[in-house]
Amino acid sequence: DQQRGPLVGIPSMVLFFISFGIGYTQKSRLTTILLLIGGILELVFKLIAPAMGLLLPLAIGQTPLYIALIAISCAIIGLGLLRAVKGL
């Protein structure tokens, strides 16, 4: 059901932020890579899914929520980049 997308997707995004907070002081390439890959996957899915007809009610009917989900995906990528730069 397409209407449950945000209910399933938002907790996974929250877990990315929690993993960043918990592992902030630890040097872990795995956490950095997972943040980057997870953010990229979220972003690509949010951008491509409406073109395939998926999440279309969300993209059209709840545009502010949809834009917020895209912004959160970009923030997750930013956190991964921050960890990558900090690790150098």
Instruction: Give yes or no for a contact between 23 and 80, defined as CB atoms under 8 angstroms apart.
Output: no
Check the CA dihedral 31-32-37-42 and report its sign.
Answer: positive
- Please name the amino acid found at residue 80: G
pLDDT value of position 6: 61
Select from 14, 27, 25, 26 the least CA-distant residue to 75.
Answer: 14
Question: What pTM, to 2 d.p., does this model score?
Answer: 0.75
One digit per residue, the tens of pLDDT, for the chain of length 88 reads 455 556 666 777 787 888 878 777 777 788 888 888 888 888 888 888 777 877 677 778 778 878 888 898 899 889 889 888 887 5
